[in-house]
Copies of this chain bind each other. A is one copy, B any other.
Amino acid sequence: MDTAPFEQWESEVRGYCRAYPTVFATASNARQVDEQGRSYLDFFAGAGVLNFGHNNPRMKRAMIEFLEHDGIAHSLDTYTTTKRDFVERFRDVVLHPRGMDHRMQFTGPTGTNAVEAALKLARLVTGRTDVVAFSHGFHGMTLGSLAATANDAFRKWAGVPLRDVVRLPNETSPGGGIAGLDAYRAAITDPSSGLLPPAAFLVEPVQAEGGVNVASVEWLHAIQSLAKDVGALFIIDDIQAGCGRTGSYFSFDGMGLDPDVITLAKGLGGYGTPIAMNLNKPEVDAHWSPGAHTGTFRGQGLSFVAGTVALDYFTDDALMDEVRVKGGRMRQALDALAAAHAGGAGQGWQVRGRGMMQGLDLGDGALAKDVQRRAFEAGLLVGPCGTNGQVVKLIPPLTIPDDDLDQGLDVLRTVVDEAVAA
C-alpha cells in the first residue's frame, strides 16, 4: 500500500483518506476492495452518491456502449440524443406520475452549483436578497451555498463574511418547530420588526450532513405555507436525501408538498458520474434568461446515460419496497444498539432516519470518531456527521445485498460496544 505520493503531492486539505487510510482499487455494489485485496463493506456510498451500488452492471454496460459508439461525452447545454433520452425518461418516470410540470435546469454538475442556481433564481423572482436557511443545514461549499450551510466547521474557512441568509432553528432545535415559524411569520409581517420577507426558504426534508434530522410533514407544510403567504420561494434541497434514498424518489413524496424549486445531484448520475439538476416550476423558471447561469460541465454524456438507467429503478416499486424493508432492519439494529447501552454510556443516544438513511446520535464526537476508526479496521466504512460529528450515519447503497447489510450492522454493533468499553 503506497500512500506516499498522496502524502507528498496532494494538498493538506484532503480529508476522508485520513479516516480510511488505504488505497482502494476496485469496487462492486456495496463493497470496495483495496490494493492489498482487503474487502470493505461500504455504508457511506460516496457520501450518498452511490445509491445503486458501486459499478452498477447495467449502467456499466450502457456506458461502455455509449463510449464505443462515440456518443457526445461533453455537450455544455447543446442538445444531444443522450440528453434527450434522459430528459424524456425523467419526465416519464418522475414528473408525469406526480403530475409535476417542473422544468429541468442542468446547473454545473455539483450540488453546490445547483443550490447557487436556485438561490439566484429565488432572488431574481422576488427581487429580495435574504434567504432563510435552517440550523444544521448543509447546502454546499461555494460562497453562495456556504452562506446557507450552517456548520461553522465549513463556514469558518470562507475568509469573507457570509451574508444574505437569515438563519432559523431547524425543527428540533430550541426555538424551532411550528412555534419558531410562527414567530418568524409575525416578525416579517410587522414592519417594525427589523426583518422583511425573504426571497426563499431553503430546507432539507432530511438533513443528512446535519445529523440525520428528519423533518415532520407538518413542519414542512408550515414552511411552504409561510413561503407562499409572503411571496417567497419554497426550495427543497433533496441532494442527499433524494433519488430513492428514503424509500421514494423524492424524500418528500406523499407529503402533498409543492416546492417551487427542487435541487438534485449526488444519486442522479447513478454511477457516481457528476450531474446536478434543479426542477423549477414553470412560472418561476420563466424568469431566467438564456445563459443567466452557466457552467462548463452541465452536459455530461456518461452521466445522462447512467442516470437514465438509474431511472429504471423507479418504474416499479421493487427497489423502493426493498429500501423500506432494509431501512427497517437498519433502524431496528440501531434501536437495539441504543437500547443495549441505554442504561450506561448510551443514555441520551438517539436513533433518527428515514428509509436507508439512518443515524445513531452518540452525543459525543470523539466516540463517533472512534467508532468510525474501529469500523474501518473491522472492514466497514461509515462516516460521522452532525454537530461535532457525533452522529454515525448509515447510508449504504440501496442495492446492498441482505447479507452485506446484516454483516455491516453486526460489525457496527461490535465496534460500538468496543468503543464504549474502551
> Which residues does A use to contact B, with CB under 8 Å?
2-3, 5-6, 9-18, 20-28, 32, 35, 46-47, 49-50, 54-55, 60, 63-64, 67-81, 83-84, 87-88, 90-91, 95, 103-106, 108-113, 116-117, 119-120, 122-124, 129, 133-137, 141-145, 147, 149-155, 157-161, 163-165, 167, 169, 173-176, 179-180, 182-184, 186-187, 190-196, 199, 210-211, 265-266, 271-274, 278, 280, 285-286, 288-297, 300-302, 386-388
Please name all residues of chain B whose beta carbon is closer than 8 Å to the beta carbon of A119 when the two chains form the complex: 159
Shortest beta-carbon distance from A307 to chain B in Å: 13
- With beta carbons under 8 angstroms apart, the residue of B105, B175, B179, B293 that contacts A141 is B293
Known: A142-B144, A174-B187, A293-B13. A87 touches B194 (CB 8 A): no
A76, closest chain B residue (CB) = B16
Known: A120-B159, A150-B192, A159-B199. A13 touches B55 (CB 8 A): no
- With beta carbons under 8 angstroms apart, the residue of B24, B160, B194, B294 that contacts A75 is B24
Complex Cα distance A296/B32, Å? Answer: 18
Shortest beta-carbon distance from A79 to chain B in Å: 4
- With beta carbons under 8 angstroms apart, the residue of B24, B95, B295 that contacts A79 is B24
- This chain: how many copies in the complex? 4
**A13/B288 in contact, CB under 8 A:** yes
Can you list 17 A-B contacts (CB < 8 A)?
A6-B84, A9-B95, A10-B103, A11-B285, A12-B288, A14-B290, A25-B71, A26-B72, A109-B110, A110-B295, A129-B159, A163-B163, A169-B186, A173-B183, A191-B387, A191-B388, A266-B296
